Amino acid sequence: MALQLLVLLLITVLLLGVLFVRRKYAYWAERKVPYIEPRFPYGNFADVDRKSQADISVEQCNQMRSTESRFFGLFFFLQPLLVVTDLDLIKTILIKDFNYLPDRGAYHNARDDPLSAHLFAIEGNRWRSLRTRLTPTFTSGKMKMMFPTLRAVADSFGEFLVGAVGAGTELEIKDTMARFTTDVIGSCAFGIECNSFKNPDSEFRKFGQQVFDRPRHGTLVRLFLRIFPEVGQALRVKSLRDEASGFFFNIVKDTVTYREKNGIERKDFLSLLVELRNTGEMHLAMEEIAAQSFIFFGAGFETSSSNQTFCLYELAQNQEYQERARSCVLEAVKKHGGLTYEAVCDMQYLDQCINETLRLYPPLPWLERKAFENYKIPDSNVTIPKGMKVLIPVFAIHRDERYYPNPNRFDPNRFHPEEVGKRHLSSFLPFGEGPRVCIGLRFGMLQSRVGLATILSKFKLSLCPRSTVPLQYSSASTVLQPKGALWLKVEPL
């Protein structure tokens, strides 16, 4: 009798469970929103550990293309998410109706993991006030001021390459460019000479790599924390590895203390952050200064190094474009008497190559927004409820033949100013858009131009037997990166 009761109880619990899951998965159907059939327990994200986010987004968008809807629904576990694909609606969400969806919902935990509470992740008034205060840090004037620091790193980089390449060699480009951007951002955000060319075991490089290539949690847990941040915070889950956050915090604390004791002034992001605190413009604890330096480093080194890596990879396969980019660099250098700030701002064709690379390989394949209050989608009967996540599939939009004919082909002419003017603003979103657009856009572009100009002015790049064609993307990395190493042949000109 007892056994029968137990079996009955189990069946009832199972049935209730099935009904509960069905009810949850009926969310989009009930609202008459097209959606991709989810599968328990992962919903539409069972593949995240095997496939890159870029590939997943293209598959999902292609699958939903025939619905001709401006948006479609997905599920992460049992949680509904909305993907918006219509360019006008994307523009409205990012710009005009920004106040309804002002946050990203990125996981952070200021109490247990202070470095995670940085500009990219924080929300509400704290974000607003910090963003307003930090924006002047990235003006053209400040970029010009920081240029000598950037140039000094580029010069050492050039010297290193001359030695490493010799009469010609095969070079692992991904690691080489990561070392360059590590040194640039280390120097500009932390005031530290990292020297990761001369010292391959540099701690900056080690911890920078750790943050991106060996995050504390796997993709599934990271996605879970993004969708259910409150659960993670309640369970006191940290997102950064302890030794990495300890390293970055100590570097900032020691550098600030050293500079204050010795009256040292440097023209870098760290000085600008300390200035904000010292002028009383904003109360910033050391943890908060460290968190901002950390995100400048985190957001600045991997994005720019991936951009330069992919650009060199494409130029190695397109000698004609490579030659044009080189001529553009050499002409600007000649015109301005060296690789000056003015010269790097006068390299239109190189910019076209960088932008075409950002189109094909946007470092963030998705933009994310979280509804701050209920938001009725214009010209529809659908309301995005408070707290729901909205995804904008940047990678898939950039590879959509409706906006870019023959979309997988690298063609810098697409970014000739005349061509750009013909396209919708939301068809190109490598830096995001609206009030939450990338704050480091100018610095990112500057860094890419300087790194690429340094290489192209001295070396010719081509494919070698170890080059991978076509590329596959890493499923582990948070930023779009090639899977494994990326080798190219590099020869002095």
Q: Among residue numbers 149 through 208, which ones bind ligand HEM (CB under 6 A)?
A: none
Residue 393: CB minimum distance to ligand HEM, A? 13
Cα–chain center distance at 279 = 31
The first and second tokens of residue 212, run together, are 């991106």
Under the binding rule (CB under 6 A), the answer on residue 443 touching ligand HEM is yes
The phi, psi pair for 429, rounded to 5°, reads -130, 45
User: What is the Cα Rg of the chain in Å?
Assistant: 24
Q: Among residue numbers 237 through 276, which ones bind ligand HEM (CB under 6 A)?
A: none
Under the binding rule (CB under 6 A), the answer on residue 436 touching ligand HEM is yes
Beta carbon nearer to ligand HEM, 245 or 308:
308
Among 272, 353, 364, 490, binds ligand HEM (CB under 6 A): 364
Residue 425: CB minimum distance to ligand HEM, A? 13
Under the binding rule (CB under 6 A), the answer on residue 363 touching ligand HEM is yes
Cα–chain center distance at 186 = 18
Instruction: List the one residue out of 115, 120, 95 whose CA is nearest residue 440.
Output: 120
Under the binding rule (CB under 6 A), the answer on residue 375 touching ligand HEM is no
* CA dist., res. 466 & res. 485, Å (int): 9
Under the binding rule (CB under 6 A), the answer on residue 315 touching ligand HEM is no
Stretch that binds ligand HEM, among 31-39, 66-74, 296-304, 408-416 (CB under 6 A): 296-304
Beta carbon nearer to ligand HEM, 120 or 249:
120
Under the binding rule (CB under 6 A), the answer on residue 85 touching ligand HEM is no
Cα–chain center distance at 155 = 26
**Spatial contact of 211 and 481, defined as CB atoms under 8 Å apart:** no
Report strand pairing: 71-76 vs 79-84: antiparallel
Among 105, 186, 432, 451, binds ligand HEM (CB under 6 A): 432
Report strand pairing: 79-84 vs 389-392: parallel
Stretch that binds ligand HEM, among 192-200, 338-346, 431-439, 465-473 (CB under 6 A): 431-439
The first and second tokens of residue 44, run together, are 């539409």
Site string for ligand HEM, 114-153 (x = CB under 6 A): -----xx----------x----------------------
Beta carbon nearer to ligand HEM, 33 or 450:
450
Under the binding rule (CB under 6 A), the answer on residue 438 touching ligand HEM is yes
DSSP label at 377? Answer: P
Residue 358: CB minimum distance to ligand HEM, A? 6
**What DSSP string describes 185-225?**
HHHHHH-----TTT-TT-HHHHHHHHHHHS-SS-HHHHHHH
**Spatial contact of 81 and 370, defined as CB atoms under 8 Å apart:** no
Cβ burial, residue 269 (10 Å; 0-12/13-18/19+): buried
Please give the residue ranges that form the binding site for ligand HEM (CB under 6 A). Answer: 104, 119-120, 131, 295-296, 299-300, 303-304, 307, 358, 363-364, 367, 430-433, 436-440, 443-444, 448
